[in-house]
């Protein structure tokens, strides 16, 4: 309908301006159904160049609009808005389209099958996943689902920083616990990890346990003098623990990449040599620098330190070069806000390689911190982790559905307060309960009907004439646009907000309407409408990875 109305407006605009084809026509949904189905500010856009009152221009545009039987009427409103009211049969067509498309309603081919890689979570294997990782997991997985629904060929990837100082501290911590040292012992590693999970790793190592993670198997030697064995076992143990966390959160990855593999394969050294050959490096005070100021960074960055070790952004550049070489022309990194400073230098490093990677590649979605509240007070510690709230804690407290919804329901770059009491409540204040209850209510009516749902796609919808029905049909018609815009803007919270609004309209309709009435035509038309609503609620929940139960 947007395309149709835009085309009609362009034809009308040609009667007023010569270069009408260059106009950018914006159609929006009015906040109130009383103001029509679509509204356009074209008249106000033309007021300055035409030097006329926008309401007068709007009247001229309406008079010049070609007739179309899908539009019932067009009116001027306010300062010069043009409001379009669709014919009833046009609104009814939305219901039929939903019932015919079913689980695919809202999907499109925007991505045209192009490959896109979404990297998310990518937690260091030094402890259980915390609530911040959980937010990254929820947002990243929802992004992946959205992109797939928009026709992209999506690969989900987890990158393990399994090399460097933090892994050294993990190894030392496990060794200390295996030697019987407590975390408050003066000789316990200064930068060590203090959670109880370290003691669990130490016990498993001494017991010569075999750990099986998604792509590796490691058996502990139990030898406390074998530091490399402790290192590999500890990383494998925590990778397995993180796998379990992600499984409980219903997250699956297609690819796991290891920082250590980039070093072992010599690819980090190759990247450094390519950067040297590019002419964008120099040596100063015993260190190797990359002239990132050539690529809009605020200062140059050290690549290789005086001691010969590489700084962390070097393997990051190598890893992203690998992504490019694997054919991912579109890459999205979902990471915590603390990665903001890495964006410019990674992009600068990729530009300095001079291998054809476009400027501004890859894309980033950064999420802010999460504050967990219970009983009006902040929850800061996990009994298991000792220093933070784990993702598993939240899942055990409120369930997977509520955890996923709450972590994805706000714009990623805004701070999030996770209220455990609200997430557990069975009330209309809890958006997850509210949405799922709307779906369950519809299923209950359809079950009571005992008819064949598949027959509803072909019935007469002309009895759908009430204001409540019109508002609900308008809301259902918005879903494809919401799915498309959410993917373009990398904003899954828009789906969460839409579901809440859709559930609200359903509850209002449900409370005002009887469905299983004596009049057969009215009954079937209303059942078709709520069945279409069920599909939309289900499809939206699927994009968030949240279940849509039939009973509650």
Q: What pLDDT digit, counting tens, does each position of 220-240 carry?
A: 999 999 999 999 999 999 999
Of the residues 86, 101, 125, the one at which a domain ends: 86
Same domain flag for 106 and 39 = no
What percentage of the chain's residues is helix, strand, coil (to nearest 5)? Answer: 50, 15, 35
317 token code pair? 């550049």
DSSP state of 302: E
pLDDT of residue 178: 97
Query: For 86-124, b where at least 16 C-beta lie within 10 A, e where not — what string?
Result: bebebbbbbbbebbebeeebbbeeebeeeebbbbbbbbb
Express each pLDDT in 28-70 by its tens digit: 988 888 889 999 999 999 999 999 999 999 999 999 999 999 9
What does the alpha-carbon distance between residue 375 and residue 393 come to, in Å, rounded to a whole number? Answer: 16
The helix/strand/coil state of 242 is helix
For the domain that residue 97 is a member of, what is the CATH number?
1.10.730.10
* Same domain, yes or no: 36 and 106: no
pLDDT bucket at 204, cuts 50 / 70 / 90: very high
Residues 443 and 518 in one domain: yes
Provide the pLDDT for residue 387. Answer: 81
What are the structure tokens assigned to 488, written together?
């373009």
Smallest Cα–Cα separation from 176: which of 202, 150, 146?
202
Rounded mean pLDDT of 76-87? 94
pLDDT in tens, 291-339: 999 998 999 999 999 999 999 899 999 999 999 999 999 999 999 998 8
Residue 60 lies in a domain: yes
Compute and round to an integer the Cα radius of gyration of the chain. 29
26 vs 354: CA distance, rounded Å? 39
**What is the predicted pLDDT for the residue at 220?**
97
Please give the average per-residue pLDDT across 443-448, as a whole number: 97
- Which residue, of 86, 119, 137, is where some domain finishes? 86
What's the mean per-residue pLDDT of the chain?
A: 95
Token code pair at residue 413: 């770059």
Spatial distance between the Cα atoms of 52 and 44, rounded to a whole number of angstroms: 9
pLDDT tens, position by position, 237-266:
999 999 999 999 999 999 999 999 999 999
At 97 the pLDDT is: 96
pLDDT band (50, 70, 90) for residue 139: very high
Asked whether the predicted pLDDT for residue 415 surpasses 90, the reply is: yes
**If you average pLDDT over residues 143-154, what whole number do you get?**
98
**Total number of domains constituting the chain:** 2
- For the cut 90, the answer to whether the pLDDT of residue 13 exceeds it is yes
CB 465 within 8 A of CB 88: yes
Give 92-122 as a DSSP string.
HHHHHHHHHHGGGTT---TTTT-EEEEE---
How high is the pLDDT of residue 522? 98
Question: If you average pLDDT over residues 196-209, what whole number do you get?
Answer: 96
Residue 141's Cα: distance from chain center in Å? 6
* 457 vs 394: CA distance, rounded Å: 41
- Identify whether 292 is part of a domain: no
End-to-end CA distance of the chain: 36
Helix (H, G, I), strand (E, B) or coil at 371: strand
Q: Is the peptide bond before 509 cis (omega within 30 degrees of 0)?
A: no
CATH code at position 62: 3.30.1360.70
Together in a domain, 438 and 484? yes
Query: Does some domain include residue 535?
Result: yes
Helix 196-206 and helix 165-178, axial crossing angle in degrees, nearest 10: 70
Query: Which pLDDT band, with edges at 50, 70 and 90, does 113 fall under?
Result: very high
Kindly state the average pLDDT of the residues 427-431. 96
Provide the token pair at 367: 């999420």
**∠ Cα 377 380 386 (to 5°):** 150
Tell me, what's the pLDDT at 264? 95
Q: What is the mean pLDDT of residues 397-419?
A: 97
Count the residues in the chain.
552
Same domain, 10 and 74: yes
Res 221: pLDDT: 96
pLDDT in tens, 149-185: 999 999 999 999 998 889 999 999 999 999 999 999 9
Inform me whether the pLDDT recorded for 213 exceeds 90.
no
- Tokens 């959160």 label which residue? 249
Summarize the confidence of residues 430-441 as an average pLDDT: 98
Q: Are residues 13 and 99 in the same domain?
A: no
Confirm whether 513 is domain-assigned. Answer: yes
358-391 per-position pLDDT tens digit: 999 999 999 999 999 999 999 988 767 778 999 9
**Same domain flag for 102 and 42:** no
Residue 464 lies in a domain: yes
Q: Is residue 440 in a domain?
A: yes
Please tell me whether residues 443 and 519 are part of one structural domain: yes
Residue 469 domain-assigned (yes or no): yes
- For residue 494, being part of any structural domain is answered with yes
Helices (H), 207-312: 227-248, 259-264, 267-278
Of all residues in the chain, the percent with pLDDT exceeding 70 is 100
pTM: 0.92
Check residue 382 and give its pLDDT.
76
Residues 96 and 81 in one domain: no
User: Which of 143, 156, 132 lies closest to 407, judged by CA?
Assistant: 132
> Which whole number is the average pLDDT over 463-472?
94
pLDDT of residue 76: 96
Q: Tokens for 44, please give them.
A: 């106000």
Q: Which residues in 312-355 belong to E strands, given as ranges?
A: 330-336
Residues whose CB falls within 8 Å of the CB of residue 240, separated by 6 or more in sequence, listed in order: 211, 212, 213
| 435 neighbors 541 (Cβ within 8 angstroms) | yes
Instruction: For residues 200-204, give the mean pLDDT.
Output: 97
Looking at residue 344, its pLDDT comes to: 92
Task: Please determine, for residue 214, whether its predicted confidence score (pLDDT) is greater than 80.
Answer: no
% of the chain residues with pLDDT over 90? 91
Domain range enclosing 76:
2-86
Structure tokens of 175? 């060794």
CB under 8 Å to 530, separation ≥6 — which residues?
Answer: 442, 445, 446, 506, 509, 510, 515
């Amino acid at each position: 309908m947007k395309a149709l109305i835009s085309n009609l407006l362009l034809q009308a605009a040609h009667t007023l301006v010569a270069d009408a084809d260059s106009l950018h026509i914006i159609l929006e949904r009015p906040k109130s159904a009383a103001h029509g189905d679509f509204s356009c500010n074209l008249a106000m856009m033309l007021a300055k160049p035409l030097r006329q009152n926008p309401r007068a221009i709007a009247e001229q545009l309406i008079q010049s609009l070609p007739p179309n039987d899908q539009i019932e009427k067009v009116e001027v409103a306010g300062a010069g808005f043009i409001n379009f009211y669709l014919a009833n049969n046009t609104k009814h067509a939305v219901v039929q389209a939903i019932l015919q498309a079913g689980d695919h309603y809202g999907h499109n081919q925007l991505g045209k099958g192009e490959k896109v890689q979404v990297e998310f979570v990518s937690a260091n294997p030094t402890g259980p996943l915390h609530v911040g990782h959980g937010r990254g997991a929820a947002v990243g997985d929802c992004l992946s689902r959205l992109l797939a629904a928009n026709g992209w060929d999506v690969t989900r990837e987890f990158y393990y920083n399994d090399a460097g100082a933090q892994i050294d501290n993990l190894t030392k911590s496990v060794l200390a616990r295996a030697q019987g040292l407590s975390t408050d012992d003066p000789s316990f590693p200064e930068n060590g990890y203090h959670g109880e999970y370290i003691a669990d790793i130490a016990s498993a190592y001494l017991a010569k346990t075999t750990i099986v993670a998604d792509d590796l198997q490691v058996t502990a030697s139990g030898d406390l003098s074998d530091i490399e064995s402790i290192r590999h076992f500890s990383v494998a143990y925590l990778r397995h623990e993180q796998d379990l966390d992600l499984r409980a959160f219903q997250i699956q990855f297609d690819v796991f990449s290891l920082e250590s593999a980039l070093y072992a394969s010599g690819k980090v050294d190759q990247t450094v040599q390519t950067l040297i050959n590019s002419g964008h490096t120099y040596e100063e005070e015993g260190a190797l620098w990359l002239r990132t100021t050539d690529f809009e960074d605020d200062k140059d960055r050290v690549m290789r330190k005086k001691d010969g070790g590489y700084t962390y952004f070097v393997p990051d550049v190598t890893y992203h070069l690998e992504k490019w070489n694997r054919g991912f022309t579109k890459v999205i990194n979902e990471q915590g806000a603390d990665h903001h400073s890495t964006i410019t230098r990674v992009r600068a490093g990729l530009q300095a390689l001079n291998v054809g990677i476009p400027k501004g590649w890859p894309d980033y979605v950064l999420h802010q911190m999460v504050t967990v509240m219970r009983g009006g007070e902040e929850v800061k510690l996990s009994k298991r982790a000792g220093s933070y709230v784990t993702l598993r804690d939240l899942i055990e407290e409120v369930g997977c559905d509520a955890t996923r919804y709450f972590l994805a329901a706000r714009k990623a770059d805004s701070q999030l307060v996770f209220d455990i009491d609200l997430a557990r409540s069975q009330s209309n204040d809890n958006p997850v309960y509210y949405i799922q209850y709307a779906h369950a209510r519809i299923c209950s009516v359809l079950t009571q009907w005992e008819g064949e749902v598949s027959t509803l796609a072909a019935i007469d919808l002309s009895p759908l004439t009430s204001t409540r029905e019109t508002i609900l049909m308008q809301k259902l018609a918005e879903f494809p646009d919401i799915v498309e815009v959410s993917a373009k803007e990398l904003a899954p919270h828009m789906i969460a907000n839409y579901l809440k609004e859709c559930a609200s309209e359903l509850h209002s309709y449900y409370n005002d309407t009887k469905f299983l009435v004596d009049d057969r035509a009215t009954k079937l038309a209303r059942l078709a409408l709520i069945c279409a609503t069920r599909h939309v609620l289900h499809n939206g929940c699927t994009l968030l990875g949240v279940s849509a139960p039939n009973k509650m």
